[in-house]
Structure 1
């Protein structure tokens, strides 16, 4: 028995309202956990990229200023 056959005799609101609501009630915490995990992972990746970029900027700035001071000698 296919899913289409099961829902064939049902009213439209069962397919489009009741089933999604039941799915949200049953799997709601799992869905919110997955969304929260993905958002946290993206935030951590953004912080990582910002910190690495800042580190590269500081090192390049330090290296260029130290090479300028060496040439002064």
Structure 2
């Protein structure tokens, strides 16, 4: 018995309103936690990229390379 057979004969509002509302009620905290984690991770990545870019800018501006290739 698949998922489609379970919903056969039920009113449209059960399929399109009641089930999603129940899913949000039950899993809403989990969904919010996952979304919050992803947004926080993206923010930290953005801050990291900005700080590395600023560090590279400062190093190149105040410590001009001699072209010797110290690496």
Normalised to the residue count of structure 2, the TM-score between the two structures is 0.88
Aligned match of 1:44:
44
Query: What CA deviation, in whole Å up to 9, does each residue of 1:12-67 have, x standing for no partner?
Result: 00000000000000000000000000000000000000000000000001122x86
| Structure with max Cα Rg | 1
Structure 1 stretches of 4+ moved >2 Å: none
Q: Which runs of 5+ in 2 are unaligned?
A: 67-71
From the two aligned structures, give the one with the greater helix fraction.
Answer: 1
The alignment of Structure 1 onto Structure 2 pairs a total of residues equal to: 66
Q: Which runs of 5+ in 1 are unaligned?
A: 68-73
